[in-house]
């Protein structure tokens, strides 16, 4: 059954998903004047959900009651797999902009569509370029638009939560936005960073309660980083 499932992914899932990816990219360009609108957000969500539906991956989401679609947040999530992006994009109801690696801008259709949708490509070639990217994110986070950041910076090699970087916390401090921890479980088992196919496994996204940074010192963001990291860690479902 394993090899039939893999064959199905390459012969059925991949062609269908790439066609819908092209459609989503084209619609993102057409809808540039309304890139924060509900319609284009729904198309982008359906694109991500399609991947899970086609691969028969069960998805469970907890914590919708903790957030408001009209509030801007800085969502902070663990990063275990490529599936993390599709899971958050597909089931997080808030309009948001990703901070993405500059290299992804060159991926056919995906880079084109994400740029049209207003997502921010982070140039890490120099500290100055990285700061310019952060400024663009800060300009985008208005009128209920949020951002999602993986503070580890890259996918885990072993499924464990890695060391956090300061970027998400600096943005939240600068704009006085609440941080919302997101705990993802099962994505590493379904497709770790070395895998070239999906292994069937249930996945879960747990949305935590917003955390105000008013009780933390801006001069010492490590305290806030440790607190959010602990909230993400306790929300991860272990085997």
Q: Residue 17 has which token pair? A: 């998903």
* pLDDT confidence tier of residue 235, bands split at 50, 70 and 90: very high
The conformation of residue 217, written as its DSSP 8-state character, comes to: -
Whole-number pLDDT of residue 130: 66
Q: Between helices 38-54 and 83-91, what is the axis angle to 10°?
A: 130
3-state helix, strand, coil in the chain (%, to 5): 50, 15, 35
Q: Give the global pTM.
A: 0.88
Q: Residue 61 has which token pair? A: 């989401």
* 138-145 long-range Cβ contacts below 8 angstroms, 24+ apart: 138/171, 138/174, 138/175, 140/97, 141/72, 141/74, 141/97, 141/171, 141/175, 141/177, 142/72, 143/36, 143/72, 144/69, 144/70, 144/71, 144/72, 144/94, 144/95, 145/36, 145/72, 145/95, 145/96, 145/97
Whole-number pLDDT of residue 124: 66
* pLDDT confidence tier of residue 15, bands split at 50, 70 and 90: very high
Q: Average pLDDT, stretch 160-166?
A: 86
Q: Residue 120 has which token pair? A: 């921010």
d(C-alpha 6, C-alpha 198), whole Å = 7
Q: Average pLDDT, stretch 158-169?
A: 84
* pLDDT confidence tier of residue 20, bands split at 50, 70 and 90: very high
Beta-carbon contacts of 72 under 8 Å, excluding residues fewer than 6 positions away, are: 141, 142, 143, 144, 145, 146, 175, 177
Whether the per-residue pLDDT at 138 is higher than 80: the answer is no
Whether the per-residue pLDDT at 211 is higher than 70: the answer is yes
Arithmetic mean of pLDDT over the chain:
87
d(C-alpha 1, C-alpha 16), whole Å = 21
* Three-state DSSP state, 59: strand
Whether the per-residue pLDDT at 51 is higher than 80: the answer is yes
Whether the per-residue pLDDT at 99 is higher than 90: the answer is no
Whole-number pLDDT of residue 109: 65
Q: Average pLDDT, stretch 138-156?
A: 84
Q: Residue 19 has which token pair? A: 């066609």
Domains and their CATH numbers in the chain = 2-235 (3.40.1130)
Whole-number pLDDT of residue 84: 96
* pLDDT confidence tier of residue 61, bands split at 50, 70 and 90: very high
């Amino acid at each position: 059954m394993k090899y039939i499932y893999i064959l199905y992914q390459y012969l059925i899932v991949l062609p269908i998903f790439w066609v819908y990816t092209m459609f989503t990219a084209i619609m993102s360009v057409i809808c540039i004047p309304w890139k924060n609108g509900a319609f284009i957000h729904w198309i982008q969500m359906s694109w991500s959900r399609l991947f899970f539906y086609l691969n028969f991956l069960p998805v469970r989401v907890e914590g919708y009651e903790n957030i408001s679609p009209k509030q801007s947040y800085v969502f902070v999530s663990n990063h275990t797999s490529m599936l993390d992006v599709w899971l958050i994009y597909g089931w997080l109801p808030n309009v948001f902009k990703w901070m993405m690696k500059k290299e992804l801008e060159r991926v056919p259709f995906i880079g084109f569509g994400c740029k049209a949708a207003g997502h921010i490509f982070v140039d890490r070639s120099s500290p100055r370029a990285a700061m310019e990217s952060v400024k663009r994110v800060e300009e985008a986070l208005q009128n209920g638009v949020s951002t999602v950041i993986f503070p580890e910076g890259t996918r885990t090699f072993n499924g464990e939560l890695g060391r956090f970087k300061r970027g998400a916390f600096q943005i939240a401090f600068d704009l006085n936005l609440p941080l919302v921890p997101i705990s993802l479980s099962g994505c590493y088992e379904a497709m770790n960073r070395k895998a070239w196919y999906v292994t069937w496994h249930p996945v879960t996204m747990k949305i935590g309660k917003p955390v105000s940074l008013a009780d933390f010192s801006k001069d010492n963001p490590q305290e806030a980083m440790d607190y959010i990291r602990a909230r993400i860690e306790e929300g991860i479902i272990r085997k």
